């Protein structure tokens, strides 16, 4: 007698021969040769602000069919639960609350936009999970108390963030993180802004320009350097490694002797990046003052961002302003869209050129 056929459950592909357990998303990722976050993006309704190529999408769907994978409905229902709370996590040892802190204007934009959209905020700090170096499988687990979470900080644990994305938890990083596949982010357009500053210096007649930056692989620093070098190339000015001074200790290594050497070589303009520490600008500003440079008569200075609070009373530097409140608001809009399962696409916000008073025509001797 022929055995009765087992009827497949509605909506579920037949399991591969010999298999009894439900295929997991991680297995789909391994078979497709992609990250679990990418599988989550292809299969989920949320786009997470990322672009998935058709080839990658095809690999994932082929793996899904081969394994007979379907999402866990219980997990999907759990992910859909909402309580109108948005998390804000800072990768600093204490949450930035001082008005002078560079993160504070971000938080103003975050709070105002969240209130306008009817969300309350839950604040998390790096101090509760080991500070800026937080790591481990449960380092960020507590952010799941909220419907989604916004992260601030240059040095975030990539593996933990991608685990949240892979689980379908709405995540937005304030600052470019496109090197982490599937992670949504909102950032300032540092490349275009840095190019504009170099173009301004070139129009003033400067033919040799040097960038002073921290020895840091953070995307914000990389973008500024990329824009700076692109600006030099477009202006027909010398670039390459000689045009960039990288230092882990700018205030210790950018000496008066080094600055005088550059001046003797014909450098007439110096550009520094803004960071959380402000070390690059502080080092450049201090060395120029020590050497006795009359700025901008003897040489021009420019800052890719805003000056640190302790130098805010000095002449306003030529450079650009970062629209921090607008970035905070844009990040909340993106996070709210992801929480609602909608598409969100506004990753870059333009910076505003600041004429300042530290850049002028190149000295006539050059």
The token pair that represents 47 in the structure block: 């786009």
Residue with tokens 């592909």: 13
Q: Of all residues in the chain, what percent carry a pLDDT higher than 90?
A: 48
pLDDT at 45 over 60: no
| pLDDT reported for residue 288 | 93
pLDDT band for position 10 (cuts 50, 70, 90): very low
**pLDDT score recorded for residue 98:** 57
Query: b/e string for 300-325 if b means 16 or more Cβ within 10 A?
Result: bbbbbbbbbeebeeeeebbbbebbbb
DSSP per residue, 88-145: EEESSSS---STTSTTHHHHHHHHHHHHHTT-EEEEEEGGGGTGGG--STTTTGGGGG
pLDDT at 188: 93
Full-prediction pTM beyond 0.85?
A: no
């Amino acid at each position: 007698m022929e055995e009765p056929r087992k009827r497949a459950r509605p909506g579920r592909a037949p399991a591969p021969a010999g298999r009894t357990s439900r295929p997991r998303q991680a297995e789909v990722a391994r078979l497709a040769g992609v990250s679990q976050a990418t599988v989550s993006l292809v299969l989920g309704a949320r786009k997470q602000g990322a672009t998935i190529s058709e080839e990658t999408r095809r690999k994932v769907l082929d793996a899904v069919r081969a394994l007979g994978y379907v999402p866990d409905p219980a997990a999907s229902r759990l992910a859909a639960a909402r309580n109108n709370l948005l998390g804000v996590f800072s990768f600093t040892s204490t949450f930035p609350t001082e008005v002078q802190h560079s993160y504070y204007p971000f938080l103003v934009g975050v709070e105002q936009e969240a209130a306008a959209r009817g969300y309350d905020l839950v604040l998390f700090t790096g101090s509760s999970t080991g500070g800026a170096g937080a790591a481990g499988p449960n380092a960020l687990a507590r952010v799941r108390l909220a419907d989604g979470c916004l992260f601030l900080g240059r040095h975030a644990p990539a593996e933990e963030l991608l685990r949240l994305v892979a689980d379908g938890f709405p995540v937005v990083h304030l600052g470019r993180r496109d090197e982490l596949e599937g992670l949504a982010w909102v950032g300032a357009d540092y490349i275009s802004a840095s190019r504009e500053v170099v173009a301004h210096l070139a129009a003033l007649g400067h033919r040799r320009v040097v960038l002073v930056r921290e020895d840091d692989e953070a995307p914000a620093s990389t973008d500024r350097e990329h824009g700076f070098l692109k600006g030099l190339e477009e202006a027909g000015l010398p670039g390459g490694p000689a045009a960039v001074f990288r230092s882990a200790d700018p205030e210790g290594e950018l000496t008066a002797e080094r600055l005088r050497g550059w001046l003797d070589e014909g450098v007439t303009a110096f550009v520094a990046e803004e960071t959380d520490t402000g070390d690059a600008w502080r080092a450049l500003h201090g060395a120029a003052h020590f050497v006795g440079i009359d700025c901008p008569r003897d040489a021009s200075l420019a800052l890719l961002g805003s000056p640190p609070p302790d130098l805010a009373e000095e002449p306003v530097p030529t450079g650009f302003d970062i629209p921090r409140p607008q970035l905070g608001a844009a990040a909340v809009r993106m996070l709210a869209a992801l929480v609602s399962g909608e598409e969100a696409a506004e990753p870059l916000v333009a910076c505003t050129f600041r004429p300042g008073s530290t850049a002028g025509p190149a000295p006539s001797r050059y």
